[in-house]
A and B are shown apart, each in its own frame.
Chain A
Amino acid sequence: MMSTSYDKCVRCGSCVKFCPLFNAVGEEQYSPRGKTYLLQVMDQIEDDPELAKEFRQLLFQCTLCGRCSEVCSSDVDLLKVWHEQRAKAVQMAPEEFEYLDALRDALANVANIYGLDPEDRAIYWLDELEDDIPGLEDRVYEKGKTADTMVFLGCLMSFRGSQMDVLRSLFTMLEEVGEDYLVMGAEENCCGHPLYLMGDEKGAEDLRKHNRSVIENAQAKKVVTCCPGCLIQLREHHNLKNAEALHHTQYFDQKMETTPKYNQTKELAYHDPCELHRILGIKTEPRSLLKKLGVEYREMEASCCGGGGLLRMTDPGLSDIIIQARSAKEKLRDTVVVTACPSCREQLLASENRTKDIIELLADASEGGAE
């Protein structure tokens, strides 16, 4: 009886050419088959400390986009294999991952990835948006407040100025549909996704506990987030008893049977965030919203932007190559890339692509159709 799922890999190679890392580097060790093969022959090489070290590094040269799992016909849960192997790598040689300590320390000390004061979670965007969204300050959660819906912004959207337009659109639309909502604000911990991606389940759970209690105390029935990574944690790992975790595209698609038409003046392309469509299986709602908005768009290849799996931290050079190659291959220069993930947005903006979240299109349409 085989004990590990990577033993089931028949090394057929169907995953090789789908892998963004393989396409970026062009060498077999970066491909899912190459890595699985290395596991299958590990008994032949593990005595060599340099090779073992190189392998541990290689495990973090992956976007965890899940495309390999999707194409595998041999029932190998490759995503699970990569998660398990990452955890094992960090456990075996923590000194090799000291570059992740700053992130770990930040999450342990101030519960956000930037190491900023937790109170600042609701400072930057509140300063920027309170004139546009009257009463927004009252929407920030404090002990004793309750609401039907809790908005979980996540670290990127809480702290990054590049996300401000998405936030503005999100709040505009929540007001538009008359939702009874609160934003977790300073009471929001990181969802734990970065720690989950490095195999630190305990650290991730420590962060989740607080979120869980805040959501329960607020008596929220729904938790809405724009971030697919946060949604993985909220839906699959937070063990929320009374609240349903939703992506914002799901929420608004359910809430709005029809929408105003979007005044489209530019070519649009839709990029499916890997964690949203492949890992969470949310494919129809973003497209349903786009259809309601009446926009014409082309589907992009269901491939990674290069920003997943902590790759931006573990190997930013490779991450850049992936998005640059995609930009060239899919001719994105004259296109606005529509997506629904703050991490993909950062990646697209960093490579000088134009991008809009679906919620921005929705808000633009609701405000009169101006692009």
Chain B
Amino acid sequence: MKLRDIAIGANASMYYRLNFKKIRGVYYPRTETDVLAAIAFARDNGYDVTPKGGGSGLSGACTGGDTDRIMMSSLQMTEMLAISKDIGYVDVQPGLTPDEINAVLEPMGMKLFVAPSSRDIATVGGILSTDGGGNDTWVNGTMRDNTIKVRMVTYDGRKLTVSHEGVKSDDPDLEAELTKKGMTIHDVASSHGTLGFITELKLVIRPVVGETLVGSLAEFPDYDTLGQAVDGMIKRESPIRYGETIVMAHPDVREGFNPPLLILQYPEEYESELKEFVDIKRLDTDEFERLKDIRIKLPKRNPMEGVQFALFEGYGFHEESLRNMQHTLDEIDTLLKSHDLVPFGKYGHAPSKWYLGDNTAAYGIIMHSREIRPEGKTGTELLQTVLDIVEKCDSLGVTPKPEHKWPFDDEAKSSRLNELREVIGPGFNSFILDEACDDVLSSMV
């Protein structure tokens, strides 16, 4: 074993204490040929394959669990293959980040409109595998909405091209079978690397429209008022270009602000209509940028005492759970406190969009949550808390981990992935769909 076999486990989730002895190889391919060679090695030796992007996700999917496996990173697949400004697409390898892509596109006046807060490290292949989005998802959709098609390699080395319309393969039988199953990009989105390794993406790019935007701050007396304000924006289809909420923040990182609050940016001409149902205060550019910075750094900062950690990535408040946000949050906080967890920060995208396991779209607030890492809790206890939260979310009508549509707890998604794997074959990140997934995850906390 070498340090490269261990360091590959670095990821932002709380599932980071891997059994390194089960990692049978680490690969950083540069080309599809390299990918095929690595998969062949895994196949010949009966090992699983775990794809990994930037490792900024919080689901633990990129750890690969504890199966005998090879780990395949996309971090060296960073070529921009083609740019079509006229048609509006860019062909890229999967290891590029939105920031890297946009650095090239910006001088052309074009942009990939996917902006997760981790866009400096999250790879586009990884973002599609979790169907991530960001503060502009409400306007621009999630990663699947911005992906035209992907090329991927399966465990048996066959190649697929999956788009919104369907699937093509170098193997006509496979293509026919998957077409019969109705496979589309929706299936690759949020698949957490269980179907294959993405080797290329064709992504939507659009011109940066020069509209005059203004920023403002809305502060709320309680969570219901916040939820109802966001609900109002959804109903009116408000043109919010940037919408973020800080629901609560530990006093050490609050920097004088008083959550719950919304940080909004929208076309200047929309302001009068927005004022009809939200009490907003106009911010100058510096104030607006400062608030954005406070928000974007919340997932990374720490309190003066102790260390924050990501127990459970996110909650999707929509419809009733959004309008009755106070009750919903009280229930969640009561649950957290009953497990001796001290809230550190709650924040997220508002209004936002995500997809449910059956691929229908939902609209509301995607709220991320951080707690202060408790001393003396076992992995099993912490994982049990996570499972209790999932159950609580289901009872409250909240989508658990909406951006990442946790397949290990989403029956619609996991049964669909299993159905496709019956055709494509297993071999990719199998632990996620294994019954023992919870035990495996708790062993890594």
Which A7-50 residues have a C-beta within 8 angstroms of B? 7-8, 10-14, 16-17, 26-29, 31, 33-38, 40-41, 44-45, 48
Please report whether the interface of chain A is mostly helix, strand, loop or mixed according to DSSP.
helix
**CB pair A10 B308 closer than 8 Å:** yes
Give the interface SS of chain B, mostly helix, strand, loop or mixed. loop
Closest CB in chain A relative to B349 CB, distance in Å: 17
Q: 8 Å CB contacts to A: which residues of B395-434?
A: none
- Give the B interface residue count (CB, 8 A): 41
Contact across chains for B3 and A55 when beta carbons are under 8 A apart = yes
Flag whether B302 is at the interface (Cβ < 8 A).
yes
Q: Which residue of B lies closest to A55 (CB)?
A: B3
Q: Is the CB of B7 within 8 A of A75?
A: no
Asked whether A11 lies within 8 Å of B55 as measured between CB atoms, the reply is: yes
B299 at the interface (CB under 8 A from A): yes
Residue A177 is within 8 A (CB to CB) of chain B in the complex: no
Whether the pair B7, A38 counts as a contact (CB closer than 8 A) is yes
Instruction: Give bound CA distance, A35 to B7, whole Å.
Output: 7
Contact with A along B1-41 (1 / 0, CB 8 A): 11110111111100011101000001010000000000000
A75 contacts B17, CB within 8 Å? no
Does B132 belong to the interface (CB within 8 Å)? Answer: no
Closest CB in chain B relative to A34 CB, distance in Å: 4
Q: Given A11-B10, A11-B55, A34-B10, do A75 and B302 touch, yes or no (CB 8 Å)? A: yes
* B299 interface neighbour in A10, A29, A51, A72, Cβ under 8 Å: A10
Query: Cβ of A8: which chain B residues have Cβ within 8 Å of it?
Result: 302, 307
Q: Which residues of B contact A41 (CB under 8 A)?
A: 6, 9, 16-18
Given A10-B308, A17-B120, A28-B4: A37 in contact with B10 (beta carbons within 8 A): yes
**In the complex, chain B residues whose CB is within 8 Å of the CB of A11:** 10-12, 16, 55
CB pair A45–B6 under 8 Å, yes or no, is yes
Residues of chain A in range 313-329 having any CB-CB distance to chain B below 8 Å: none
Asked if B7 contacts A37 (CB within 8 A), the reply is yes
Nearest B residue to A57 by beta-carbon distance? B3
CB distance from A354 to the nearest CB of B (A): 27
- Asked if A127 is at the interface of the complex by the 8 Å CB criterion, the answer is no
Q: With contacts A28-B8, A72-B300, A74-B300 known, what are 13 further pairs, Cβ within 8 A?
A: A1-B306, A11-B55, A16-B54, A17-B97, A17-B120, A27-B75, A28-B4, A28-B7, A28-B55, A29-B4, A41-B16, A44-B17, A73-B300
28 pairs from A and B in contact (CB 8 Å cutoff)? A2-B306, A8-B302, A10-B300, A10-B308, A11-B16, A13-B12, A13-B118, A13-B121, A14-B120, A14-B121, A16-B75, A17-B97, A17-B121, A26-B28, A27-B7, A28-B8, A29-B4, A31-B7, A33-B10, A37-B16, A41-B18, A45-B6, A45-B20, A73-B297, A74-B300, A74-B301, A74-B302, A75-B302
Using CB atoms and an 8 Å cutoff, list the residues of chain A in contact with chain B. Answer: 1-2, 7-8, 10-14, 16-17, 26-29, 31, 33-38, 40-41, 44-45, 48, 51, 54-55, 58, 72-75
Rank and list the top 5 A-B pairs by shortest CB-CB distance, nearest first: A73-B300, A29-B7, A13-B121, A37-B10, A34-B7
Q: Which residues of B contact A (CB under 8 A)?
A: 1-4, 6-12, 16-18, 20, 26, 28, 54-56, 73, 75-76, 97, 100, 118, 120-122, 297, 299-302, 305-310, 375
